[in-house]
A and B are shown apart, each in its own frame.
Chain A
Amino acid sequence: MIEATDLVVRRGPRTVLEGVSIAIEPGEIVAVLGPNGSGKSTLVGALAGELRPVRGEVKVDGRAVGAWDARALARRRAVLRQDSAFAEPFRVREVVRFGRSPWRDTADVRDAAVDRAMARADVAHLADRPFTALSGGERQRVHLARVLAQVDGGADPAPRALLLDEPASHLDPGHQHALLALLRALAREGAAALVVLHDPNLALAYADRAVVLDAGRVAADDDPVQALAPGLVARVFGVRVLACAGPRPGRPALVAIPEDEPVATDLVAH
């Protein structure tokens, strides 16, 4: 549904993405991982059409992202940026309602979509609280509810896409898993989701595919078990990991080995 080919993106003098190709199809969760500064947010920005690549192209449903009518595109695809600076004393419900601005729906339809989104993001109980009174994790979930409301097409069967840049960064473990489980439910309903994550175990447990970025290039784009193999993780992230039996059959969990811990080589071997 979203397809990028050979993206080269510069930020000032720096080339942040150097020939990245990626595709996300309806029904799948693609996790994007990579060290700090590897180009994850830039990739999201480029896929969103917010950053113009100097080479390559981003297509949504086969049409160049820049050729879309902004509102029509907004109804199909929502973007959650990392660390919003938004801090206005709107009520939570009003913030989520902003997600409905590309729609011209009746108050009933709008309020139903807003209520659904708030319930799914677990912020329904905060509906009448001022946004400024919330914690960082609660704010993140409100923004999530906002983008969920944005792509709630009701009975419209056209597939939706979500581009989420570190949506779990401020969430407690329970809400991190609830978020990924929610993405799986959305994927089953036909949505395409690209989600930037730092925790490889979340990707291993929930993603259909993992893309590992390293210095602006795709180091791996594969089934999460392959993409996040201990050898590759050690090379890209500079941390030695053990692959242990995970909660899902065939999906290991990674445990980092403390830097100062001498480890028998047979343990790190994959």
Chain B
Amino acid sequence: MTARLLPFVALVGALVAAALLAAAVGALPVPPLQLVGAFLERLGFASPWPLDDTQRTILWTLRIPRILLAAGVGAALALAGATLQGLFRNPLVDPGLLGVSSGAALGVAAVLVFGAAAFPLGASVLLPLAAFAGGVAATAFVFRLARRDGRTDVAVLLLAGVAVNAVAGAALAALSYVADDAQLRQITFWLFGSFGGANPAALLGTGLALAIAVAILFSLAPRLDVLLLGEPEARQLGVPVERTKMLAIGASTLAVGAAVAASGIVGFIGLLCPHVARLLLGPGHARLLPASALLGATLAVLADAVARTALAPAELPVGILTALVGAPGFLALLLARRTGVNA
């Protein structure tokens, strides 16, 4: 039992370490002891390691919300990636496959180009709403396309996803073409992804969506395992296959939709983390899903810490960084695995 829990202890440890590191670094460093002091203060204890007011403000209003958002978004993306890769029995599946990300991007671009000014709500509320709505709508459309006679054909789902992504990409390009310079810049920055918008609403939305997705997907874990046998086999084993697929896709879409709404498009975490988790812990979803989520959270927190500090005082968009690090990491993993199989 302890041997089976050990990887999770290590993963939680890595996440905590990444979070502490991310809280410590930045334009105004907060040394480790002061970090401890900050938490002691919060809990109402007298602290031997006092912080000054600036440190306290930066820590509680900027860094910690940002770390929480990065962790939530990373966990959501990796969790959805692991679920969808299993559901499609395809390791190349990315959480954006079913159109969530491109739909969200289109929603954001449409609002930016057709006048955020026309709406009474501020852009900080309107853009996430547009992103979430666009993402969920695109996935719902893909799902609808693949549904026939009460069954969803996974192969059609995959192809419909590719097609809808392509159309959304074209529409996004068209919107970018007609956009003025300021709008174009906003669209581009949104597409790069950032955890800078860590306000309470974003945290609440992401946290809530992630909690619901975790509750649904973890409870589906045994069925997702059986589904790997193939859909007819799973049906013959009494698994409600269509309901399981719908719940799994719905929960993944909710998680990714909320993540994208809060932070824009952060690539590769949803593709890479499930792979690493599968290599470490095998294909069983009961272990794969939590491990992927923990890895995703850790990677996102670390990536954001680097994005904030590497080019200080400028900030590198975190989406660029995850792609820059994630793509070679993915390749290395693929090559290592291939030689491993051949050996």
Mark A residues whose CB is within 8 Å of B.
Answer: 45, 48, 50, 70-75, 78-79, 81, 84-86, 88-90, 94-95, 98-99, 101-102, 150
Docked CA distance A94–B225 (Å): 10
Closest to A85 in B: B230
Within 8 A of A (CB), among B231-248: 232-233, 235-240
List chain B residues, Cβ under 8 A from A75: 238
Q: Which of A70, A81, A99 contacts B232 (CB 8 A)?
A: A81
B337 to chain A, nearest CB (A): 11
In contact, A70 and B229 (Cβ under 8 angstroms) = no
In contact, B222 and A101 (Cβ under 8 angstroms) = yes
List chain B residues, Cβ under 8 A from A74: 236-238
Tell me how many residues of B have a C-beta within 8 Å of chain A.
18
Docked CA distance A74–B241 (Å): 14
With A89-B283, A98-B225 already in contact, the answer to whether A84 and B230 are too (CB < 8 A) is yes
B31, CB-defined interface residue at 8 Å: no
List chain B residues, Cβ under 8 A from A89: 282-283
List chain A residues, Cβ under 8 A from B238: 70-75, 101-102
B284, CB-defined interface residue at 8 Å: yes
In this complex, the member of A74, A79, A101 whose beta carbon has the largest number of chain B beta carbons within 10 angstroms is: A101
B228, CB-defined interface residue at 8 Å: yes
Closest to B86 in A: A88
In contact, A101 and B239 (Cβ under 8 angstroms) = yes
List chain A residues, Cβ under 8 A from B236: 48, 50, 74, 78-79
B238 to chain A, nearest CB (A): 4
With A84-B229, A84-B230 already in contact, the answer to whether A90 and B237 are too (CB < 8 A) is no
A70-B238, A74-B238, A98-B229 known, 8 other contacts, Cβ within 8 Å? A48-B232, A75-B238, A84-B233, A90-B228, A90-B284, A98-B237, A101-B238, A150-B237
Docked CA distance A4–B110 (Å): 57
For the complex of A and B, list the 10 residue pairs with the smallest distance between their C-beta atoms, beginning with the closest. A71-B238, A74-B238, A102-B238, A70-B238, A79-B236, A88-B283, A86-B229, A88-B228, A101-B237, A98-B226
Within 8 A of A (CB), among B89-129: none
List chain A residues, Cβ under 8 A from B239: 70, 101
Against A, the Cβ 8 Å flags (1 = close, 0 = not) of B156-199 are 00000000000000000000000000000000000000000000
Docked CA distance A31–B236 (Å): 21
Docked CA distance A75–B237 (Å): 8
Q: Which of B222, B240, B284 contacts A70 (CB 8 A)?
A: B240
In contact, A50 and B232 (Cβ under 8 angstroms) = yes
CB < 8 Å A-B pair total: 58
List chain B residues, Cβ under 8 A from A50: 232, 235-236
List chain A residues, Cβ under 8 A from B229: 84, 86, 95, 98
In contact, B237 and A86 (Cβ under 8 angstroms) = no
A87 to chain B, nearest CB (A): 9
Docked CA distance A6–B23 (Å): 72
5 of the cross-chain contacts (CB-CB < 8 Å) are A48-B236, A73-B238, A74-B237, A94-B225, A101-B226
Docked CA distance A71–B236 (Å): 8
List chain B residues, Cβ under 8 A from A81: 230, 232-233
Closest to B222 in A: A101
B142 to chain A, nearest CB (A): 24
List chain A residues, Cβ under 8 A from B222: 101
Docked CA distance A95–B233 (Å): 12
B113 to chain A, nearest CB (A): 45
B26 to chain A, nearest CB (A): 42
List chain B residues, Cβ under 8 A from A48: 232, 236
In contact, A94 and B284 (Cβ under 8 angstroms) = yes
Q: Which of B223, B228, B237, B284 contacts A99 (CB 8 A)?
A: B237
Closest to A130 in B: B282
Docked CA distance A72–B238 (Å): 8
A82 to chain B, nearest CB (A): 11
Within 8 A of A (CB), among B216-230: 222-223, 225-226, 228-230
List chain B residues, Cβ under 8 A from A94: 225, 284
In contact, A90 and B282 (Cβ under 8 angstroms) = yes
List chain A residues, Cβ under 8 A from B223: 101
With A98-B225, A98-B226, A101-B222 already in contact, the answer to whether A86 and B284 are too (CB < 8 A) is no
Q: Which of A72, A85, A88, A102 contacts B237 (CB 8 A)?
A: A102
In contact, B225 and A86 (Cβ under 8 angstroms) = no
Docked CA distance A71–B240 (Å): 9
List chain B residues, Cβ under 8 A from A86: 228-230, 233
Within 8 A of A (CB), among B10-55: none
Docked CA distance A218–B18 (Å): 68
Docked CA distance A74–B236 (Å): 6
B283 to chain A, nearest CB (A): 5
Docked CA distance A88–B284 (Å): 9
B65 to chain A, nearest CB (A): 39
Docked CA distance A86–B229 (Å): 5
List chain A residues, Cβ under 8 A from B240: 70
Closest to A79 in B: B236
Docked CA distance A98–B226 (Å): 6
Docked CA distance A251–B143 (Å): 56
Closest to B278 in A: A89
